[in-house]
Chain A
């Protein structure tokens, strides 16, 4: 009897504790490679928030493949803010969940994207397969590691970067499709998120080249030391824009609109921009970007809006059911 009672007490106290904390909690649902960035940023924001005379904040993080995370928020994961890999995933929050207004991307500067990145190649030290540009990826015997575009935002940037290069190189959509089709034939493992692919490549030592977020490639280099891997910048890549948004329906329910808005705005502050750069994201603020200019190679970049007509057009064309990715991936 006493065991039953104490168990009930434990359950009750946990539930009550959960309730009491709810007032000063903020949940940021993010994608895979931002883990380290937000550990630092959350600490900095908490300090800033308390300096303004607020209660200390308990900032919670959830990470996973960007598409999977968007799905979870639509299914009821109560994110106050989402910081996902691409605008297309946040669009789904409006389309399927009616959680945010359609014009969410106009609410913050720079199309709600406080930092950017791009797609680069990560290869084994000494580049044994001699991989210098996109055409080297489809050489016989080269194994390419990239996550699944259905669930991972990074994978979709990878796909579009490859497509953009091939279209420029060969001049037509038909040829680009052929190239990307061949590329995916050389992918032995499709992980669900960018971090899974990095672990597959770096730790499990599968594959010859990893198509990765620039920030993720730098992080892998830092974690593993420079003696096992090196970064190769291709001749052309894509400006990857991971945007952020307050989830209106959730902040209204939880009464956290003020803190959620302040949290995202702080990403645009000098300190927020410096933390992003420290974690190998390219800052939007030009003067902060200049401070870190040595860190990032100058690359020729296409953009999602100019070259693909934005995510509203690229997502259904390439990645929805029956899109280009399904066609080429089913074909093999």
Chain B
């Protein structure tokens, strides 16, 4: 009895480690955070609001900015669902089946993480550009891929491929195939099994992956820049529009649109936080069982 009461606070203290080192580390972490993240964010907002709210909203509701917003949301709206389907399918294959080339597939899913986005963009120029592999065929049929919406979507899809799959693979591998097998034995068809058994199990991981995917799709600059053609009010996404405004000495407008992008990112961050906490709780519950 006495021993336990004595050891409990001791281990807690031991876990906390040297109090000075701990404090220093926390201070350093906060300082880094403030200096490299908080300060730039404040500068963006400060610059945006320098000439008052009128100019701020003027820049955001300007026709080119609105068309950039529309294009960004459209690109996100197409590429995220595509990657959602691909991510679930890939994670399903990897975690539920055994096949040759499985580890190759897992490696390839990560490719966009290691390839520079500029190269991702150039790949599509080489494939679909007028001088590219399919260039002549597409030109004869008057189909435009790069320097138009399809190219922007393709580039966005490429850079955001890993997010959903990466999130789901470990989760689904951990859960194994027992529940699905049980569903099968009870007479469920494939679709029922997926809808009633698999999906509820991966729901929060899926949302988390989609949120990350959305954030990246919205902010992508490099790959989209290569395939956009930079036509004002037509093929400029929000990040490209920010750069254009900045290059036109239009700093307040550039920072206003940047803060719009920032606001969207913060919204997504909140969603991520929420889904992450649900995921944690789910994992904890699974651990207790």
Contacts and interface: CB of A to CB of B under 8 A. Distances in A.
Contacts of B247: 32, 35, 195-196, 199
Contact of B231 (A7, A60, A76, A199): A60
B86 interface: no
A77 B229 CA distance: 6
A35 B131 CA distance: 28
B78 interface: yes
Interface in B141-163: 142, 144, 146-147, 149
A60 B232 contact: yes
Contacts of A195: 247
A324 B142 CA distance: 40
Contact of B144 (A11, A72, A76): A76
Contact of A75 (B70, B129, B231, B248): B129
Interface string B237-248: 000000010111
A72 B131 contact: no
B130 interface: yes
Interface string A210-225: 0000000000000100
A11 B79 CA distance: 13
A15 B246 CA distance: 29
B36 interface: no
A135 interface: no
Interface in A174-196: 195-196
Nearest to A75: B129
Interface in B60-81: 70, 74, 77-78
Contacts of A20: none
Most B CB atoms within 10 A — which of A35, A36, A60, A77? A77
A78 B144 contact: yes
A205 interface: no
A76 B129 contact: yes
Given A62-B232, A63-B230, A75 B77 contact: no
A96 interface: yes
B246 A199 contact: yes
B230 A64 contact: yes
B74 A10 contact: yes
A97 B142 contact: no
B74 A11 contact: yes
A61 B142 contact: no
Nearest to B128: A76
Which secondary structure dominates chain A's binding surface?
helix
Given A75-B132, A76-B139, A78-B147, A11 B78 contact: yes
A72 B225 CA distance: 11
A126 B73 CA distance: 48
Interface residues of A, number: 27
B124 to A, nearest CB: 10
B131 A61 contact: no
Name the residue among B130, B135, B149 with the largest chain A CB count within 10 angstroms.
Answer: B130
Nearest to A59: B232
B146 A75 contact: yes
Contact of B248 (A27, A35, A60, A78): A35
A60 B233 contact: yes
Contacts of A260: none
A188 B194 CA distance: 58
A151 to B, nearest CB: 13
Contacts of B146: 75-76
Contacts of B142: 253
Given A27-B231, A64-B230, A77 B147 contact: yes
A14 interface: yes
Interface string B111-136: 00000000000000100111110010
Given A75-B130, A77-B231, A223-B249, 15 more contacts: A11-B78, A14-B70, A15-B149, A32-B247, A35-B248, A60-B231, A60-B233, A62-B229, A64-B230, A76-B129, A77-B229, A78-B147, A97-B130, A97-B131, A199-B247
23 contacts: A11-B74, A11-B78, A14-B74, A14-B149, A27-B231, A32-B247, A60-B231, A61-B231, A63-B230, A75-B125, A75-B129, A75-B147, A76-B128, A76-B129, A76-B131, A76-B135, A76-B144, A76-B146, A76-B147, A77-B147, A97-B131, A223-B249, A253-B142
Interface of B: 70, 74, 77-78, 125, 128-132, 135, 139, 142, 144, 146-147, 149, 229-234, 244, 246-249
